[in-house]
Amino acid sequence: MDTGKCALCMQPPKDTVVVTTRRWRVVHANDELYYPGFLRVVWGIHVAEMTDLSPEARQEFMTVVWHVEKAVRDVMRPDKINLACFGNWVPHLHWHVIPRFRDDIHFPDTIWSLPRQEPDSLALEKRGFLLPKLAEAVQQSLLPLTG
């Protein structure tokens, strides 16, 4: 598989890394405009599917996803969490952890659908202020897995 053009292998410069290990990393999706708190959990090497990983690696990866989800829930207090693993555009294994709110522009549809309402700029600003606390919560939650 050609990894030379994989955006996740190259770790885009816009990604803000929250936690990184030799096997995986957690990054902000940097969508503060509409989705502050949207994080990605990215597998460190170029594989496309969960079944490309050993059972132990799959368990580790999903444990990271669950820790990140819990930290997002605790800090951001969303109405719902969306977990997504597509890889259609970028066939590099990664999970999206997306806090959803009834006032977000796409609710109740996916964030990739057409907007349904105008953004609530005050709510988005308040959520944006939580990002340092979210990064700290993710780091603390993953401390047992990072050694």
Question: Is 1 part of a structural domain of the chain?
Answer: no
Per-residue pLDDT tens for 23-47?
999 999 878 779 999 999 999 999 9
CATH number at residue 49: 3.30.428.10
Q: 57 CB contacts (<8 Å, ≥6 apart)?
A: 23
Domain boundaries, position 109: 16-142
The number of distinct structural domains making up the chain is 1
Question: Is 48 part of a structural domain of the chain?
Answer: yes
Question: Is 10 part of a structural domain of the chain?
Answer: no
Question: Is 56 part of a structural domain of the chain?
Answer: yes
Q: Cα separation of 85 and 52, whole Å?
A: 14
Question: Is 8 part of a structural domain of the chain?
Answer: no
Residue 106 has pLDDT above 70, yes or no: yes
